[in-house]
Amino acid sequence: MKLILPIGSKDSKFGKWSPTWEGPYRINRCAPGNAYILETLEGEEFPRALNGKYLKKYYPSIWVDA
């Protein structure tokens, strides 16, 4: 999954080309009300649940950097 970044978190160095998504993350467990506890790919868990409407499915690139 990827996470929508909050408004105002754009980097002034990149301007309008700042990334709007952060991640990828793995869903660790589900919470009531369409909320999810996420974790990084290294296993570090987020301290609180995030609403599912702020998540989108992550598709890894088929291109590999050489």
Work out the average pLDDT over 22-45.
91
Tell me the pLDDT tens digit for each residue of 38-57.
Answer: 999 999 998 889 888 888 88
CA 1, CA 53: separation in Å to the nearest integer?
Answer: 11
Angle at 35 between CA 34 and CA 36, to 5 degrees: 125
Q: What are the tokens at 63?
A: 């291109």
Beta bridge partner(s), residue 18: none
Amino acid, single-letter form, for residue 29: R
Q: What is the pTM of this model?
A: 0.65
Listed in sequence order, the residues at least 6 apart from 54 whose beta carbon sits closer than 8 Å to its beta carbon are 3, 4
